[in-house]
């Protein structure tokens, strides 16, 4: 047994520390990559959700615009001619000026 080379304990500890450090570094790198992926997915989900919120808001605004358009067209098609006919009738009354 004396003819076998002896392992220097300092070298063994140094090699073991280096191996553990490499494993730790690889683990940290993997965790950083996983966290970056999770953050990217959460940002994508948040932007999709905000897109849905904006589309709902735009749809609501479009519905309100349609209602306003219908109301405006109703006013111009029905109320304005009635108002004009009232003005014509009132203009026939002596002393009344619209």
pLDDT at 76: 64
Using DSSP, state whether 53 is helix, strand or coil: helix
pLDDT at 93: 59
**Cα gap 87→98, rounded to integer Å:** 6
pLDDT at 17: 75
pLDDT at 43: 83
Give the Cβ contact number of residue 87 at 10 Å. 13
Q: Where are the beta strands (DSSP E) in the chain?
A: none
Helix, strand, coil fractions of the chain, as percent rounded to 5 = 85, 0, 15
Sign of CA pseudo-dihedral 46, 52, 57, 61: positive
Q: What is the pLDDT of residues 47-65, one digit of tens each?
A: 787 777 777 777 777 777 7
pLDDT at 1: 47
**Cα gap 72→74, rounded to integer Å:** 5
Quick check: 31 pLDDT over 70? yes
Quick check: 89 pLDDT over 70? no
């Amino acid at each position: 047994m004396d003819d076998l080379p002896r392992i220097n304990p300092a070298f063994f500890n140094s090699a073991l520390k280096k191996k553990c450090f490499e494993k730790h570094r690889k683990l940290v790198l993997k965790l950083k990559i996983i966290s970056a992926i999770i953050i990217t997915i959460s940002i994508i989900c948040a932007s999709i959700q905000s897109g849905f919120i904006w589309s709902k808001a735009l749809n609501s605004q479009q519905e309100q615009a349609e209602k306003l358009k219908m109301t405006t067209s109703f006013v111009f098609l029905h109320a304005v001619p009635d108002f004009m006919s009232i003005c014509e009738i009132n203009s026939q009354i002596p002393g009344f000026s619209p």
